[in-house]
Structure 1
Amino acid sequence: MRKLYFLLPGTSGKFACGGLWAELKTLQFAQQICPAQIVTYRQREPQHLFLDDLLQQQPHHPDSIFIISWGFDIPKLIRKLHSNPTLYHAHSAGYNFRLPAHIPIVTVSRNTLGYWGQHAPHSPIYYLPNQISDNFHNRHQPRDIDILIQARKSSTYLLTQLIPALQSQCRVEIVDYYVEDLSILFNRSKVYLYDSAEYWAQRNVTEGFGLQPLEAMACGCHVFSSVNHGLSDYLDPSFNSQKIASYSTQYDRDRILQTLHQPPIELPPHFLAEYRTENILSRLQHILTEVNTFFDYMQQSPSDIAPLTPSRITQLRLQSLWKKLHKKLKR
């Protein structure tokens, strides 16, 4: 196995976010399989290598794999890494860049898998979902919070229309502060509301996975959520969850209030098994084995498949049009 370098802009301050925590979790899993460490490239940190220093000391690292994941930085990083073995760990999609066939892609959701299956049809592509910690399970304890909402990523509709309509009817807890262990709050709550479609639409990229609704479900919460992007991987409206922001405030409010009287949800064990540690480790081991084999093969054999670039698509459309015209002219 090649050594893995996880490239991150930084690990603290303005870079702290859900995507960073997910990447650090993946690093921890990888370290159980092969040597792996963090390399920062924007923020120098004394405890980590810095990319410019690493490449200056040794420009080529054929026995290593550079793992890139920060969407907005990908084109720049690809140019900087040049011919070094590189893997893209894709969380969100929609950053409007293209990837060459020599860069394998590991996606965190099937939604992102489908995106790159279309936009990078000649790259090796794999699916590795984010992990749901065993901490997130139903503790079968009394629930004193009727409705739980995290303010971050919530829509204007949720914060200014739906929540006021609910606050006079039941106990609503709005989280606008850092919570070290969300599983405690989820086990105290009956219903969890999540509506991120507006947030991601403003940013023109996708919800990569959407951990919180799945974590809430694992704890027995009834979830009312948007089903944009990666959320559609596991949310099944009216079966394991409910679609929020449907038609009107009153329609949402009435359905939520009715749900408060239902017992906590119980997901079948196989549903969560896909996101638990055992499966993640097993899949990652398999993916890393295949990726190492791919990079060995790539050193011996060049790619000979024409890339699906915009000009290539135009060419194919013109060829198709010419064939249709040629058939008509032959009649």
Structure 2
Amino acid sequence: MRKLYFLLPGTKGKFGGGGLWAELNTYNLAKQFSEAEVVTYRQRESEHLFLADLLPECQPESAIFVIGWGFDVPKLIPQLQGQNIIYHAHSAGYGFSLPPQIPIITVSRNTMGYWGQQATNNLIYYLPNQIGDEFRHLDRQRSIDILVQTRKSSEYLLDSLIPALQSRYRVEIINSYVEDLAGLFNRSKIYLYDSAEYWAVNGVTEGFGLPPLEALACGCEVFSSVNHGLSDFLDPGFNCHKIAGYSLEYDLQRIASVLERSPSPSDRLSESLLAEYRSENLITRLKVILAEINSFFDYLPQYSDNLPKMTQKRLNKLKIKRIYSKIKQKIKI
């Protein structure tokens, strides 16, 4: 197995956030059964290798570079010319294409579907993000009625729904990093999440959406949007409630109904549903995926890609061919 180099712009300061933590989690999973190292390429950090220093001595026979920072991918691929590359795809919609020699590992089935259409000749795999073992139902007293984090929240949620709820319930609004998020979820009855507007403004998709799943794992009732990667695991009516349902008044009525009824064991998300996102399953999947990709990179130097590409020119040709075929059929009739 070739050594894995996980490329990150940096691991501190402005680079902190969900995407960084998810990538580092995957690195830590890979490190449990193969040789792996973090490499930065924008910010030099004493505890990590720097890409510009590493590349001159790196040979494709012994290395695989894992890239995942969407906006940087088009710049990184030319820098890594001649090397083996995996694209770890979180969000979709950045607008770039990938050559067929770059396998894609997607964090959600939503993102897999996107690349399944956009990169028809690439190897594509599914490896969801990890839920930490600390995100579990602890049967604690829940002193917070409603919890919301301001980041990624819609104007409707912050300016309309939350003010209407604050006059009736104990509402906790989080606008900074939380050290013990699992503990906070275990003290909360309802968690609100509404990210569709945020991602529409930014022009890319919700790659996974860990917070609602983590909240569910801790026994919260979740009211959430179901855009993009969230649709992988959120199932309104069964394990969550769709937020922004028709009107503010209807949202208030449904939230009140949840708070008024007593929770029961049947309300809790089954651990069997969460097993897909726990480390044991992810390590098993990642072993299979990396073994296949490593084998593909052994094969790669011997052959060139010869499958037809889904270019606009070819699609136009196929459309004309289809129209011509239909006309011929009508003439025969």
Secondary structure in 2 aligned to 1:4?
Answer: strand
Task: Give RMSD over aligned pairs.
Answer: 1.3
Partner AA of 2:35 in structure 1: P
Secondary structure in 2 aligned to 1:274?
Answer: helix
Alignment-derived partner of residue 252 in structure 1: 251
Alignment-derived partner of residue 55 in structure 1: 55
Alignment-derived partner of residue 319 in structure 2: 317
Number of residue pairs aligned between Structure 1 and Structure 2: 330
Partner AA of 2:322 in structure 1: S
Between the aligned partners of 2:23 and 2:45, the Cα distance in structure 1 is 17
Equivalent runs, 1:83-162 vs 2, <5 Å = 83-162=82-161
Partner AA of 2:190 in structure 1: V
Normalization by structure 1: what TM-score? 0.97
Between the aligned partners of 2:135 and 2:24, the Cα distance in structure 1 is 19
Q: Note the alpha carbon deviations across 1:168-215, whole angstroms, 9 max, x for none.
A: 111000001210120011000000000000100000100000000000
Alignment-derived partner of residue 272 in structure 2: 270
Alignment-derived partner of residue 305 in structure 1: 307
Alignment-derived partner of residue 243 in structure 1: 242
Structure 2, unaligned stretches of length 5 or more? none
Between the aligned partners of 2:47 and 2:218, the Cα distance in structure 1 is 36
Between the aligned partners of 2:55 and 2:132, the Cα distance in structure 1 is 35
Alignment-derived partner of residue 46 in structure 1: 46
Between the aligned partners of 1:317 and 1:14, the Cα distance in structure 2 is 47
Between the aligned partners of 2:66 and 2:200, the Cα distance in structure 1 is 27
> More displaced, 261-270 or 4-13?
261-270
User: Structure 1 segments of 4 or more deviating over 6 A?
Assistant: none
CA apart distance, 1:38: 1.0
Between the aligned partners of 2:96 and 2:180, the Cα distance in structure 1 is 36
Alignment-derived partner of residue 11 in structure 1: 11
Partner AA of 2:208 in structure 1: F
Between the aligned partners of 2:318 and 2:189, the Cα distance in structure 1 is 54
Counterpart pick for 1:296 among 294, 298, 305: 298
Secondary structure in 2 aligned to 1:260?
Answer: helix
Partner AA of 1:4 in structure 2: L
Secondary structure in 2 aligned to 1:37?
Answer: strand
Between the aligned partners of 1:82 and 1:321, the Cα distance in structure 2 is 41
Partner AA of 1:73 in structure 2: D
CA apart distance, 1:328: 4.2
Secondary structure in 2 aligned to 1:146?
Answer: strand
CA apart distance, 1:325: 3.3
Alignment-derived partner of residue 174 in structure 2: 175
Alignment-derived partner of residue 37 in structure 1: 37
Between the aligned partners of 1:221 and 1:57, the Cα distance in structure 2 is 50
Alignment-derived partner of residue 224 in structure 2: 225
Alignment-derived partner of residue 165 in structure 2: 166
Partner AA of 1:259 in structure 2: V
Structure 1, unaligned stretches of length 5 or more? none
> More displaced, 289-298 or 146-155?
289-298
CA apart distance, 1:319: 2.2
CA apart distance, 1:166: 0.6
Between the aligned partners of 1:42 and 1:303, the Cα distance in structure 2 is 32
CA apart distance, 1:134: 1.1
CA apart distance, 1:329: 4.9
CA apart distance, 1:99: 1.1
Between the aligned partners of 1:109 and 1:194, the Cα distance in structure 2 is 18
Alignment-derived partner of residue 26 in structure 1: 26
> More displaced, 317-326 or 8-17?
317-326
Alignment-derived partner of residue 261 in structure 1: 260
Between the aligned partners of 1:82 and 1:329, the Cα distance in structure 2 is 52
Between the aligned partners of 2:49 and 2:314, the Cα distance in structure 1 is 40
Q: What percentage of aligned pairs have identical amino acids?
A: 60
Between the aligned partners of 1:98 and 1:39, the Cα distance in structure 2 is 24
CA apart distance, 1:45: 1.5
